[in-house]
């Protein structure tokens, strides 16, 4: 295993199991498979709807000496419907109860997007709360209290731009420690990555292999000629090259899979050692191809737009 490190010395495993869109009847076995294979980082979220099943898997793993709690790094995320300050602690306690844990290692604000309290999914503009009415800085102040209470060891954000990170840093008592964002060879986010590195914010790359929507399309990264050449050079799979690229760049990567063979294959990426020539070659295939566009929050008459979510033109 390779690690990143927080300022206090806590370890952040560079490869973890993503659980987004893992079905309730599949995620239990996926987590057990991952922990048995050597994973020590599991990425979760309230909105994924499968934290109870993950909690059962963790309970089994602890009871059967597959892993100890202090060996694990567990992340969960504050969903948009819990941004009101009085709801933040309730949200993390809900996740802790489902995961059957006393504390999280990392708790992230999932998006700088606010929904009406009690509304997990926005069906109309009335379900959206504009940021001027519910600033993420206010939500963050409540996140800081979670760390003070020992409910999570570290706090951070997800899907935050340079502009939003800068705004948050100006008001925060505890600076965000992690930013989880979409990164893969077709969407490399170099400016944001450099900013986080310069500001001691660790990065987690979600969709590190590209979105499932890219598979078998002209934008399927795993069939890119450059990736294939590097895979042949290192006698490994294209998937392992892509994950090794993220690890070499100094990020944590959280590929999602429910299949035993793929989970094990992904984990072996930590042993693939790319050189500068490989990294430079991959840098040339960037397409600025964002796949996660928060379409669930963008609707006619609503506050949120692609531009004010990502602070870039669509």
Catalytic residues: 48
* Beta strand residue intervals within 127-176, DSSP E: 128-129, 152-158
DSSP letter for each residue of 69-80:
GGG-EEEEEE-G
Cα–Cα dist 164/155, whole Å: 16
Using DSSP's 3-state secondary structure scheme, residue 153 falls into strand
Q: Are 164 and 136 in contact (CB under 8 A)?
A: yes
Tokens linked to 94: 């809900």
Tokens linked to 252: 């944590």
- Would you mind telling me the total number of residues written for the chain in this entry? 314
> Could you identify the residue written with the tokens 């295939």?
285
Q: Give how far Cα 314 sits from Cα of 18, 235, 246, 290, Å.
A: 27, 39, 26, 10
């Amino acid at each position: 295993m390779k690690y990143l490190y927080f300022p206090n010395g806590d370890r952040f495993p560079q490869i973890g199991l993503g659980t987004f869109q893992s079905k309730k009847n599949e995620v239990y076995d996926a987590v057990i498979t991952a922990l048995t294979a050597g994973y020590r980082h599991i990425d979760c979220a309230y909105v994924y709807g499968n934290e109870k099943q993950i909690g059962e898997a963790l309970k089994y793993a602890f009871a059967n000496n597959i892993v100890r709690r202090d060996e694990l790094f567990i992340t969960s995320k504050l969903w948009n419907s819990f941004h009101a300050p009085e709801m933040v602690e309730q949200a993390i306690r809900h996740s802790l109860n489902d995961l059957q844990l006393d504390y999280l290692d990392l708790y992230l604000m999932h998006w700088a997007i606010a929904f009406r309290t009690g509304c997990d999914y926005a069906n109309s503009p009335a379900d959206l709360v504009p940021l001027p009415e519910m600033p993420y800085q206010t939500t963050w102040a409540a996140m800081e209290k979670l760390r003070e209470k020992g409910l999570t060891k570290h706090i951070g954000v997800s899907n935050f731009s340079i502009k939003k990170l800068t705004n948050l840093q100006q008001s925060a008592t505890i600076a965000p420690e992690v930013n989880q964002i979409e990164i893969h060879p077709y969407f490399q986010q170099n400016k944001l990555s450099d900013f986080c590195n310069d500001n001691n914010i660790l990065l987690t790359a979600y969709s590190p292999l590209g979105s499932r929507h890219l598979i078998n399309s002209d934008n399927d990264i795993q069939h890119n000629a450059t990736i294939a050449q590097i895979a042949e050079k290192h006698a490994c799979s294209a998937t392992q090259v892509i994950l090794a690229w993220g690890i070499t760049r100094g990020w944590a990567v959280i590929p999602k899979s429910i299949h035993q063979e793929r989970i094990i294959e992904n984990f072996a990426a930590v042993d693939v050692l790319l050189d500068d020539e490989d990294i430079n070659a991959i840098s040339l295939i960037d397409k600025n191809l964002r796949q996660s566009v928060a379409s669930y929050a963008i609707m006619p008459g609503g506050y949120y737009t692609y531009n004010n979510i990502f602070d870039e033109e669509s």
